[in-house]
Structure 1
Amino acid sequence: MRNKKASRAESPKDNRIYRFELRLTKAEKAQFLFLEKSTGLNRSEIVRNKVLSHSFKILVDSKTILQMLDTLGSELGRSGNNINQLARHINTLKLQGRLEPGELSRFPSLIADYIKYQRQIEQEFRNLMRLIKGQR
């Protein structure tokens, strides 16, 4: 009869047999606990990610990042609103017959630039969300 433990493949956790002790001040401990809570990683994962140079995970304060993303999303909304106001103003001038053809010459390129940048920002949003989700 075979031993079940011997037949199962060893996981990376099974290979973690070495321990290190870390001494911290009270303030450092509080900072470490805050980092643990805000990133969603346990202490060992935080230390391994910070110490091992080949790590692909980046430690971030998720709450701060999400607040920044919320602010950026609001700004994108405001810029979209500004574009709508400009379009409405142009249409009003056109209906009143006061629109000069030269006034519209830059508008299409500005809108194209806005759309290009908005798509880049959306892609970065998705990349950042994947990064944050990958930590947990």
Structure 2
Amino acid sequence: MSRNKGGRPPKNEGQKIKQAHLRLTEDQHKKLMQLEDQIGLNRTDLFIKRVLENQDFIITKDVLIQLAKVGAEMGKVGSNINQLAKHANTIIKNHQLPPEIVAQYNDLLGLHLVQERELYKVLRQMYRVMKN
């Protein structure tokens, strides 16, 4: 039969038990409060990410809203590209499509693909930051 030792169990490792206090001017405090509101993190998490983890880039609510808009626009661009390709194929079947238009379309599609790859790189970086 085990005996109840009583008392509080020991704290888990990694649990936040230490405090750090800052002295700020009124202006600094206002900036800190604005930063908290913009980013959507409390002071502790903000301090840990910016100071201790040297994280320059923090995902804010505004960034997520902008990403949603960019994603929607990318979908619209993709639909437009598909419609143009279908239209071009229809024209080619009926009569000759000028080669300048095909070259211009290919150039614009190539530019779109380059920009899409760059966007995906940024999104992967942001995902890594959010994951940690």
TM range (shorter): 0.5 to 0.7
RMSD (CA atoms): 3.3
Identical amino acids, percent of aligned pairs: 26
Structure 2 residue identity aligned to 1:108: N
In the superposition, the TM-score normalised over structure 2's length comes to 0.65
Q: Deviations over 1:28-69 (max 9, x none)?
A: 385466367x13xx42342355556xx421363532111111
Q: Is the 8 A contact 1:49 1:57 kept in 2?
A: yes
- In the alignment, the residues of structure 2 paired with residue 82 and residue 19 of structure 1 have an alpha-carbon distance, to the nearest angstrom, of 54
Rounded to whole Å, the distance in 1 between the matches of 2:22 and 2:70 is: 41
Q: Which residue does 1:104 correspond to in 2?
A: 102
Tell me the distance in 2 between the aligned counterparts of 1:74 and 1:64: 16
- Unaligned runs of at least 5 residues, structure 1: 1-9
- 3-state SS of paired residue (1:86): helix
Alignment-derived partner of residue 6 in structure 2: none
2: CA distance, partners of 1:69 / 1:118: 13
TM score, norm. by length of structure 1: 0.63
CA contact (8 A) 2:91 2:97 kept: yes
Change (3 A) 1:24 1:82: same
For residues 102 and 89 of structure 2, the distance between their equivalents in structure 1, rounded to whole angstroms, comes to: 11
What is the number of residues matched between the two proteins? 118
Counterpart among 38, 55, 58 of residue 56 in structure 2: 58
Change (3 A) 1:124 1:50: closer
Matches within 5 A, 1:1-136: 19-22=20-23, 28=30, 31=34, 34=37, 38-39=40-41, 42-47=42-47, 49-50=49-50, 55-58=53-56, 60=58, 62-134=60-132
Query: Equivalents in 2 of 1:111, 1:87: separation in Å?
Result: 10
CA–CA separation in structure 1 for the residues paired with 2:21 and 2:109: 56
Task: Give 4+ residue runs of structure 1 displaced > 4 Å after superposition.
Answer: 48-52
| Letter of the 1:128 counterpart | M
Q: CA deviation at 1:23?
A: 5.5
The whole-number CA distance in structure 1 between the counterparts of 2:96 and 2:131 is: 53
Change (3 A) 1:89 1:123: same
> With CA pairs under 8 Å and 6+ residues apart, which has the higher RCO, 1 or 2?
1
